[in-house]
Amino acid sequence: MDIAVLAGVGLALFMVLFGIISGGGDFAAFINIPSLFIVIGGSIGATIAANPKDIGFKIVQISLEALKEPKIDYINLLRTLVSLSEKARREGLLSLEENIEQIDDPFMKKAIQLVVDGTEPELLKSMLQIEIDVMNSEMSLKRGLFESLGAYAPAFGMIGTLIGLIQMLKSLNDPNSLGPSMAVALITTMYGSIIANAAALPLAEKIGKRMINLEMEKTMIVEGVLSIQAGENPRILEEKLKAFLPANLREQYEAATQEATA
Amino acid sequence: MDIAVLAGVGLALFMVLFGIISGGGDFAAFINIPSLFIVIGGSIGATIAANPKDIGFKIVQISLEALKEPKIDYINLLRTLVSLSEKARREGLLSLEENIEQIDDPFMKKAIQLVVDGTEPELLKSMLQIEIDVMNSEMSLKRGLFESLGAYAPAFGMIGTLIGLIQMLKSLNDPNSLGPSMAVALITTMYGSIIANAAALPLAEKIGKRMINLEMEKTMIVEGVLSIQAGENPRILEEKLKAFLPANLREQYEAATQEATA
Amino acid sequence: MDIAVLAGVGLALFMVLFGIISGGGDFAAFINIPSLFIVIGGSIGATIAANPKDIGFKIVQISLEALKEPKIDYINLLRTLVSLSEKARREGLLSLEENIEQIDDPFMKKAIQLVVDGTEPELLKSMLQIEIDVMNSEMSLKRGLFESLGAYAPAFGMIGTLIGLIQMLKSLNDPNSLGPSMAVALITTMYGSIIANAAALPLAEKIGKRMINLEMEKTMIVEGVLSIQAGENPRILEEKLKAFLPANLREQYEAATQEATA
Amino acid sequence: MDIAVLAGVGLALFMVLFGIISGGGDFAAFINIPSLFIVIGGSIGATIAANPKDIGFKIVQISLEALKEPKIDYINLLRTLVSLSEKARREGLLSLEENIEQIDDPFMKKAIQLVVDGTEPELLKSMLQIEIDVMNSEMSLKRGLFESLGAYAPAFGMIGTLIGLIQMLKSLNDPNSLGPSMAVALITTMYGSIIANAAALPLAEKIGKRMINLEMEKTMIVEGVLSIQAGENPRILEEKLKAFLPANLREQYEAATQEATA
Amino acid sequence: MDIAVLAGVGLALFMVLFGIISGGGDFAAFINIPSLFIVIGGSIGATIAANPKDIGFKIVQISLEALKEPKIDYINLLRTLVSLSEKARREGLLSLEENIEQIDDPFMKKAIQLVVDGTEPELLKSMLQIEIDVMNSEMSLKRGLFESLGAYAPAFGMIGTLIGLIQMLKSLNDPNSLGPSMAVALITTMYGSIIANAAALPLAEKIGKRMINLEMEKTMIVEGVLSIQAGENPRILEEKLKAFLPANLREQYEAATQEATA
């Protein structure tokens, strides 16, 4: 579970509730089933039309998936690559075959398998790059789903409000109904804005930022595996990969390594 | 037919109808022929002016075309390339001439024809790249058509509403006509917003995402054909192209292949 | 004349007129000379300030130029390049000097002249590329002019409406004048929106799309001329350049060629 | 002085005045000192916070500088480079030392000095490129200043209007003061919009377009100086640099050259 | 402390206060605790959801950090690199080990350490580039935090205003409460707009512009260190790095150098 998504969306929605409560707490005034249908139905319809068939129809499944955070353990990754490098120097590249089973990350697993199979460096590099591109393109299709939703929800909110206003204005003879009718019309805009700003757009941004991190991790693995294949010194490999770590993780890694060697 | 476009646009429009019905169902209040003319005529006019002549005037034909989904069968594509690669290794590049007839995809057909004709690898690559660029540029002209429509429809909706408001405000002497006149003025904005958000913008997005997929497919074919021409091992070709498949298709392909060899 | 610009802008403006007529046809209500001055003067002023001196002051001349469509005849271009290639193979590069006179396109004229003068391939390529860059940069300055106008016209429309509203609100004592005053205030916004959406923005888009087509055409010429200079086989040149043609033109070219050889 | 900026901004502001005069000319209704303070103070504050210290605090000085137009005389530049090239061919690169004094442009001065000093071509090229990058980065910081101002002025205009509306609505008991209070509230939005659209945004655009021209000029100098250093034929240099000139300047240059040689 | 941020944000906020005071100074009318909660809570919630966990939860800490200005002393940097270059030429690369302690900048420290360790030029360059990329990616995550806040604050401001309007319109029976209720509803929009325009967006811009400067500085160090490693002439190094200085710093540096050598 990505605790930041849950906590953030939860906090944002709670604040909306708090606004309603602090204004008198008349919840009924904020619930309007047709408005909900127009906004959710309309924006999901437009989102399905705008996205590839196999992505658009799985909108609920992808939303649930987006709540899971891909775990990236840079320190462990660096340690694994250094130890594989050391083993390869001592016992040869073929000896890495024994370690493939223990590798969790499927991308790294495949990369090491290709090294053991004796794939040419150029081919290895281009195959791993294609994998990264395909991963990026799948994630950006998922991000596109939430971007669509975040754009169409306010639009259908406004369409719903226009429908409500037109209905209200057509029958303006009863001035007492003016206020409540207008309130109902505005609810649709509010729903659209909440869906976009408290859920769809933050999720789209989050997926975009995960993409950057995952690409960084994969690039680190590619650098490491190519260095192992080339038989580079494990110390140089370590130095090179440490450059990928942000300052705090680097200190953490160095502390842990010193402890281990002490 | 692209079922996602039909279902999505259908759902979005149904939700708008539902909003009208649930508010009393006075359909007549939402129909205003002059408003429809201003929005549709104005935005189609601006779209025609903004786009190349041969694209702009075919706006209806291109809309119908956009409902068709280009079918990309990655698994079949991979299988065809692998089997062509095996044949070329066994019987020589010239033997592929017999297979050209059976290839459906015109891009792949042309690529194999060029290989059989003995085109230099560099020239082959640059000719296929030009084809991809021309395809992309044609598709992005089509996408541009719907982007124009999606931008001008709300703009002419607003222009129509301003016309209605000015007419209403000029003759404010009858307070009873105020409401209905304003309702009519707002209908134009509503039409513009529906055209943009339930049709034009989703179609523009959809074409953009199709472009990404088609370019991926063509890149896969180029990689495959160059590998065949270079006489690479069919197993390496297979591994390389499998990297293009998203995870679920890769499993499907492997399952199918295992079955076939079992 | 670019018939699409004329027809499109004409249709869009007609629809605005139609909206006014269908609402009663009180044209006088929509004409306000000061509003017209504020929007046109203000947005032209800002556009002149935002653009290079020699471009900004020629705004009318450039608008008229933008109505002319640059004619690109791909088929004729391809045929000319192929026949020049055949002649160069038969009679040598110097023999092309006789043909320079008959070439219409000044870019191609210059390119062939450079080939006849014996310019080095590298220098030839970089000189032609600079010409393309300069052409692109001139066109994007022109596009920028209409983009400025399309952005400042609605802004000055809103400024005019604010001026009108402030004047109206200052002297609110006569409730009967409220409506007409507000109508006048809104006219400025309407003018700004019409100028932007029925003229300036479509023209800016159009120039942008012409740029793409012209760059494609120039790239085709560069490819062709370099191939002629290198003494490549005219059949290969033909195949290469055919890749630039969209599907419908390619068929047309092939039909015409078959006819000629039959 | 950049006459286009003065004339353009002057025209835009005059149109605003004209709008006020034509609506009755009650200037007092459009002057509100606190509104002016909120918009100018607020947007300058945000602009200072958003920009580097040494840029932000010099906002007035940079505005005055932006009124000066950098003069680019392409024809003179081309002529100077050709004559330096001829001299270098006749008397050697060292002889250019005598001409350095007469060169106005500091960039070209430095480039020729480096050539005379015997700088390696690779190093020369990379040093000149760094100069261009630094110039671009300084200019885009200046452009950024006006972009910030153009974005924050309307925002603080709206904040000022919201303050005015809240004050008005709190004390709604006197209906007669409603109109004038609302007029005052709207003045702030008007000020923000005028500052952005009649001054800040056009200046930002202008600087951006000057950047493109200056980069083109510097690129032309780099090409010329590298060609001089390589001892290329002055005629080739001339042809190469003429490609940088837009069509009208090229004719002007050719006419002037013919006259000189006649 | 970054005095420009403090002064700028201070000025902007003071102007808002001034607007309230000049309108009568009824501060109570502008304070509404629930509104504050909705805007701050809602936008922080959405920002946390949209950003990586370890960044989002440290929003306060990162805001405080953003007030510190990274000090870049180009002149000192240039002087240090030149003197290291001179020493390396006289006493060899290994002699630089003694100077490492005195270097403040951790990036330059690491670079010199790598040179002393005898790292290959290619590896050195790629390791330093990775460090720059990681630094950029960390800073752009921080910028992203304030961009999120700047986008969500006005959105939740609008949501709060919609809640207020709906509550007001539902109970429209007391016309006297209309004004004050609407005032309260508008406060939320005002808060959102102030948070975005007087704090979040300027900070996001500022971080973006710092990134450009820091990257320039790091690039200068990389150029310098590679030149030292290659044993280039310190005078050439000095000339090369002087190209990075903006005009005013270059004069300052030359004046200071002349003084020192006089």
DSSP class per residue in C232-262? --HHHHHHHHHTTS-HHHHHHHHHHHHHHH-
Q: Which residues are within 8 A (CB) of E237 and not within 5 positions of it... i.e. 6 or more apart?
A: E81, E82, E85, E224, E227, E228
pLDDT computed for residue A196 by the predictor: 96
* Angstrom distance (rounded) from CA D142 to CA D147: 9
Tally helices (H) and strands (E) across chain C. 12, 0
For residue A196, which residues of chain E lie inside 8 Å, CB to CB?
Answer: 155
**Residue range C29-57: mean pLDDT, rounded:** 91
Chain A interface disruption, residue of B197, B217, B239, most A CBs within 10 A: B197
Residue A23 pLDDT exceeds 80? no
* Angstrom distance (rounded) from CA A38 to CA B12: 8
Q: Which residues are within 8 A (CB) of B100 and not within 5 positions of it... i.e. 6 or more apart?
A: B109, B112, B113, B116
Task: Write b or e for each residue in E2-30: b if 16 or more Cβ atoms lie within 10 A of its Cβ, otherwise e.
Answer: bebbebbbebbbebbebbbeebeeeeebb
Residue A259: φ, ψ to 5°: -55, -45
Neighbouring subunits of D (3+ Cβ pairs under 8 A): C, E
E250-258 LR contacts (CB < 8 Å, sep 24+): E252/E75, E253/E74, E253/E75, E253/E78, E256/E75
Taking one residue from A and the other from B, the number of pairs with CB-CB distance under 8 angstroms is: 170
CB pair distance less than 8 Å for D8 and C46: yes
* Angstrom distance (rounded) from CA B23 to CA D72: 66
A24 touches chain E (CB under 8 A): yes
For residue A15, which residues of chain E lie inside 8 Å, CB to CB?
Answer: 37-38, 41-42, 45, 156
Which amino acid does the sequence have at E158? Answer: M
Tally helices (H) and strands (E) across chain E. 12, 0
* Angstrom distance (rounded) from CA A212 to CA A220: 12
Residue E105: φ, ψ to 5°: -65, 120
A136 touches chain E (CB under 8 A): no
pLDDT computed for residue B161 by the predictor: 94
A19 touches chain E (CB under 8 A): yes
Neighbours of A30 (CB within 10 A): 21
Integer angstrom CA distances of residue A160 from A154, B16, B157: 10, 7, 16
Instruction: Write down the mean pLDDT value for chain B.
Output: 89
Place of tokens 């008397």: D91
Describe the crossing of helices B121-170 and B178-195 by its angle, rounded to 10 degrees. 180
B abuts E (3+ Cβ pairs < 8 Å): no
pLDDT computed for residue C175 by the predictor: 67
From C9, C133, C136, select the one nearest C63 (Cα to Cα): C9
Which of C86-90, E23-27, E50-54 ranks highest by mean pLDDT? C86-90
Integer angstrom CA distances of residue A157 from A32, B149, B187, B193, D75: 13, 20, 15, 11, 59
Task: Read off the pLDDT band of C23 (50, 70, 90).
Answer: confident
CB pair distance less than 8 Å for C134 and D179: no
Q: What is the pLDDT of residues A43-77, one digit of tens each?
A: 999 999 999 888 888 888 888 888 888 888 888 89
Task: Read off the pLDDT band of A172 (50, 70, 90).
Answer: low
Integer angstrom CA distances of residue B124 from B91, B234, C126, C172: 21, 20, 24, 76
Q: What is the pLDDT of residues C157-166, one digit of tens each?
A: 999 999 999 9
E14 touches chain D (CB under 8 A): yes
CB pair distance less than 8 Å for E42 and A11: yes
A abuts E (3+ Cβ pairs < 8 Å): yes
For residue B15, which residues of chain A lie inside 8 Å, CB to CB?
Answer: 37-38, 41-42, 45, 156
Neighbours of B114 (CB within 10 A): 18
* Angstrom distance (rounded) from CA C44 to CA C145: 10
Q: How far is B156 from chain C (nearest CA, A)?
A: 8
CB pair distance less than 8 Å for B42 and C12: yes
Residue B174: φ, ψ to 5°: -100, 100
Q: How far is E61 from chain D (nearest CA, A)?
A: 19
Q: Which residues are within 8 A (CB) of C3 and not within 5 positions of it... i.e. 6 or more apart?
A: B53, C69
The H-or-E segment that residue D250 falls in is: helix D247-261
- Which two structure tokens, joined as six digits, stand for C95? 């023999």
* Angstrom distance (rounded) from CA E116 to CA A13: 56
Q: Do the Cβ atoms of D47 and D145 come closer than 8 Å? A: yes
ipTM (interface predicted TM): 0.89
Chain E interface disruption, residue of D124, D162, D191, most E CBs within 10 A: D162
**Residue range B208-237: mean pLDDT, rounded:** 92
Question: Is the pTM higher than 0.90?
Answer: yes
Task: Read off the pLDDT band of E143 (50, 70, 90).
Answer: very high
* Angstrom distance (rounded) from CA B49 to CA C12: 9
**Residue range D80-87: mean pLDDT, rounded:** 93
Taking one residue from C and the other from D, the number of pairs with CB-CB distance under 8 angstroms is: 169
pLDDT computed for residue D170 by the predictor: 82
Place of tokens 């046109």: C40
**Residue range A7-20: mean pLDDT, rounded:** 91
For residue D138, which residues of chain E lie inside 8 Å, CB to CB?
Answer: 246
D221 touches chain C (CB under 8 A): no
The angle formed by the CA atoms of residues C4, C10 and C15, to the nearest 5 degrees, is: 125
DSSP-based three-state secondary structure for A68: coil
Q: How far is A228 from chain E (nearest CA, A)?
A: 15
Task: Read off the pLDDT band of A148 (50, 70, 90).
Answer: very high
pLDDT computed for residue B66 by the predictor: 85
Q: What is the pLDDT of residues B78-115, one digit of tens each?
A: 999 999 999 999 998 889 888 888 888 889 999 999 99
Taking the alpha carbons at both ends of chain A, their separation in whole angstroms is: 36
* Angstrom distance (rounded) from CA B156 to CA B162: 10
Tally helices (H) and strands (E) across chain D. 12, 0
Residue C148 pLDDT exceeds 90? yes
**Residue range C78-98: mean pLDDT, rounded:** 91
Q: What is the pLDDT of residues D199-243, one digit of tens each?
A: 999 999 999 999 998 999 999 999 999 999 998 889 889 988 988
Residue B175 pLDDT exceeds 70? no
- Which two structure tokens, joined as six digits, stand for D148? 């910030």
Residue C47 pLDDT exceeds 90? yes
CB pair distance less than 8 Å for C134 and D245: yes
**Residue range A153-162: mean pLDDT, rounded:** 95
Q: Do the Cβ atoms of E146 and E201 come closer than 8 Å? A: yes
From E230, E217, E231, E234, select the one nearest E124 (Cα to Cα): E230
Q: What is the pLDDT of residues D132-187, one digit of tens each?
A: 999 999 899 999 999 999 999 999 999 999 999 998 888 766 667 777 788 889 99
* Angstrom distance (rounded) from CA C153 to CA C47: 9
- Which two structure tokens, joined as six digits, stand for E131? 């460090």
From C238, D106, C129, select the one nearest B119 (Cα to Cα): C238
Which amino acid does the sequence have at E219? Answer: T
Task: Read off the pLDDT band of A168 (50, 70, 90).
Answer: confident
